[in-house]
Structure 1
Amino acid sequence: MLHKKIKLNDTAFVELYIPDSVISYGVNRKWPAVVICPGGGYMISAIKEGEAVAIQFLAKGYACFVLRYSTFIKDRESYYNESSEINENGYYPSQILELMETLHIIHENAEEWAIDKESIFTIGFSAGAHIITMEALRWNDDSLLKQLGFKPKSVELKPKGCILCYPMLNAKIDTLSNLDLSEFQKDSMNECLHKSKTPNSEQVEALNVENYLHSDIPEFFIWHTTEDSVTNAEDTTSLVKKFQEIGQPCEYHLFKKGRHGLACGNKQYASKDTDVNNTIGMWLPLVFNWMGEF
Structure 2
Amino acid sequence: MINETIPLHPILSNINLIAIGQSQLIYNDFNGITRPAIIICPGGGYLTIHEEEAEYVALKLVALGYMVFILNYSTSAPYAYFPAPINDLSLALDYVHDNAERYGINQSAISVLGLSTGGHLASLVKPKYKLKSKALIYPILDLSSLTNFSTAREKTTLELMFSAIVGNAHPTFEQLRLWHSDAFICEETPPTFLCHYSDDIYCSEESARHYLEHLNKKRIPFKDLKVFSKKHGNPTIDPSNDWILSYHNWLNTL
TM-score for the superposition, normalised by structure 1: 0.79
Question: Are 1:279 and 2:240 matched, yes or no?
Answer: yes
2:58 match: 54
Question: Are 1:123 and 2:113 matched, yes or no?
Answer: yes
Change in CA separation of 1:247 and 1:227 when aligned onto 2, cut-off 3 Å? same
| Equivalent-residue separation in structure 2 for 1:113 and 1:219 (angstroms) | 24
| Equivalent-residue separation in structure 1 for 2:240 and 2:212 (angstroms) | 22
Change in CA separation of 1:60 and 1:179 when aligned onto 2, cut-off 3 Å? farther
Q: Structure 2 matches for 1:209-288, cutoff 5 A?
A: 209-263=181-235, 265-266=236-237, 277-280=238-241, 282-288=242-248
Change in CA separation of 1:179 and 1:232 when aligned onto 2, cut-off 3 Å? farther
| Equivalent-residue separation in structure 2 for 1:39 and 1:257 (angstroms) | 20
Change in CA separation of 1:236 and 1:181 when aligned onto 2, cut-off 3 Å? farther
1:185 match: 157
> Mind listing any 5+ residue stretches in structure 1 that lack a counterpart?
73-85, 140-154, 267-276
Larger relative contact order (CA 8 Å, sep ≥ 6): 2
Question: Are 1:21 and 2:24 matched, yes or no?
Answer: yes
**Does structure 2 conserve the Cα–Cα contact (< 8 Å) formed by 1:133 and 1:209?**
yes
Over aligned residues, Cα RMSD in angstroms? Answer: 2.0
**Does structure 2 conserve the Cα–Cα contact (< 8 Å) formed by 1:176 and 1:230?**
no
Q: CA deviation at 1:165?
A: 0.5
Say how many residue pairs are matched: 250
| Equivalent-residue separation in structure 2 for 1:102 and 1:115 (angstroms) | 14
**Does structure 2 conserve the Cα–Cα contact (< 8 Å) formed by 1:178 and 1:230?**
no
Change in CA separation of 1:180 and 1:250 when aligned onto 2, cut-off 3 Å? farther
Runs of 4+ in 1 over 4 A off after TM superposition: none
Which deviations, in whole Å up to 9, do the C-alpha atoms of 1:8-65 show, x marking residues without a partner?
2313111001322344766342111000011111111112321111111111111000
Q: CA deviation at 1:226?
A: 1.6
Q: CA deviation at 1:230?
A: 2.7
| Equivalent-residue separation in structure 2 for 1:179 and 1:285 (angstroms) | 36
Q: CA deviation at 1:7?
A: 1.5
1:112 match: 102
**Does structure 1 conserve the Cα–Cα contact (< 8 Å) formed by 2:35 and 2:67?**
yes
Change in CA separation of 1:226 and 1:101 when aligned onto 2, cut-off 3 Å? same
Which deviations, in whole Å up to 9, do the C-alpha atoms of 1:155-214 show, x marking residues without a partner?
42x321000101101222643427763543222111112111222222111011112222
The one-letter amino acid of 1:130's match is H
The one-letter amino acid of 1:283's match is W
**Does structure 2 conserve the Cα–Cα contact (< 8 Å) formed by 1:173 and 1:189?**
no
TM-score for the superposition, normalised by structure 2: 0.91
The one-letter amino acid of 2:72's match is R
**Does structure 2 conserve the Cα–Cα contact (< 8 Å) formed by 1:227 and 1:256?**
yes
1:152 match: none
